Amino acid sequence: MGRVEFVGVGKQYGDSGAGAVQDVNLTVEDGEFLVLLGPSGCGKSTLLKMVAGLEDVTSGEIYIDDRLVNYVKPGDRNVAMVFQSYALYPHMTVRENIGFPLKMHKLPKAEIDRRVTEAAEILGLRDLLDRRPEQLSGGQRQRVALGRSIVREPAVFLMDEPLSNLDAQLRVQTREEILKLHARLGTTTIYVTHDQIEAMTMGHRIVVMRSGVVQQVGKPQFVYDHPANTFVAAFLGNPRVNLQTGAIRLEADIARFEQGEVSFALGPALSAFARSAGDGAEVALGVRPEDISVEHAGSRKHEHDALVKLPATITLVEPVGSDLYVRATTGTMEWMARTEARLPVRTGDEVTLMIDLTHAHLFGEDGMNLEGAAG
């Protein structure tokens, strides 16, 4: 078992500021892989360390399997933490490093051997057991660090940016290994990262944090498709979501979005949300770059009532191989479009942007998604 429950959890370091973590209410289900995502300094590590018992809880309660652990010693919480810096003992072999926590707990030698062998098997370290850390690659060292937490057979794994010291290729590979490990062991995992791709690919659910406050909790695709506010919308997605500020103009059966000289109809779904905000309301329109394309002979976008066509001037073209990122301006609006690779466009071209508002969002003056306000 490994269910972790946060009830009104807060953390204050000293007596400065609003608190590194504020009023977190969240249940991590047994067997779940939950990702804490947010920019540096938003409180991810602090939250994790409070579960591990490495930091005191200032307010609220943390339960592991219905046991209040606020005052339980780290070693008695049945959790294992994996850090970014894997801190292996340089003078010990892989076998000794992996078995070390068990030796500390004074388990019998035969039991230590059994668990170390099994962990090495799972992590593909069997042939490396007699090496020392200096004889291993970065990825292998991180696997040893994982091994050291697996052998403890904890109820919960706590992982704090375990991949960030690895190069890009190894990061992808180790990411897959961690997922396979989770599939095999089924151990509840709370995983911290500032990398949205890691969060999207690994998490059953993700928790987006900002300045110590949880912004949104949900399945990755849902959070991407239905961001609660402009912060979440902008944090998930690369290139970043286009956020245009403007005003709502209500007409008989449709709403328009207006910024300076530029104005266009919002289509039926957004119009309903716009109506709830009211005529003249200041809003931000959020459109993901992949929902914008550049019209050309052979364009595949079909006309529909949530498709906006705007004349625009291309200001930058960035080929990234699989896609082409195109920056273009219309009046005072600047757009980023993610379009097909090899589209024959150049800086300075006058084009028509096709902006599909089917998956677009309207955010109110407080930054909250109007979709949420409407239910």
Ligand X SMILES: Nc1ncnc2c1ncn2[C@@H]1O[C@H](COP(=O)(O)OP(=O)(O)O)[C@@H](O)[C@H]1O
**Which residues sit at the interface with ligand X, rule CB under 6 A?**
13, 20, 38, 40-46
Task: Write 162-165 long-range contacts (CB < 8 A, 24+).
Answer: 162/82, 162/83, 162/84, 162/86, 162/191, 163/193, 163/195, 163/198, 164/84, 164/193, 164/195, 165/84, 165/85, 165/86, 165/138
Task: Tell me whether residue 209 or residue 328 sits nearer to ligand X (CB atom).
Answer: 209
Give yes or no for residue 84 binding Mg ion (CB under 5 A): no
Task: Tell me whether residue 45 or residue 330 sits nearer to ligand X (CB atom).
Answer: 45
Task: Tell me whether residue 11 or residue 361 sits nearer to ligand X (CB atom).
Answer: 11
Q: How far is the CB of 185 from ligand X (least distance, A)?
A: 25
What, of Mg ion, ligand X, none, does residue 46 touch, CB below 5 to 8 Å by kind?
ligand X
Task: Tell me whether residue 15 or residue 134 sits nearer to ligand X (CB atom).
Answer: 15
Distance CA 226, CA 238 (A): 16
What, of Mg ion, ligand X, none, does residue 322 touch, CB below 5 to 8 Å by kind?
none
Beta bridge partners of 341: none
What, of Mg ion, ligand X, none, does residue 268 touch, CB below 5 to 8 Å by kind?
none
User: What is the DSSP code (8-state) at residue 301?
Assistant: P
Tell me the backbone φ, ψ of residue 17, rounded to 5 degrees.
70, -170
Q: How far is the CB of 157 from ligand X (least distance, A)?
A: 17
Task: Tell me whether residue 1 or residue 87 sits nearer to Mg ion (CB atom).
Answer: 87
| Site track 24-53 with Mg ion (rule: CB under 5 A), x = hit | ---------------------x--------
Q: How far is the CB of 165 from ligand X (least distance, A)?
A: 15
Place of tokens 């071209």: 349
Burial 13-28 (b: 16+ CB within 10 A, else e): eeeeeebbbbebebeb
Among 317, 319, 339, which residue's Cα sits nearest to residue 328?
317
List residues binding Mg ion (CB under 5 A): 45
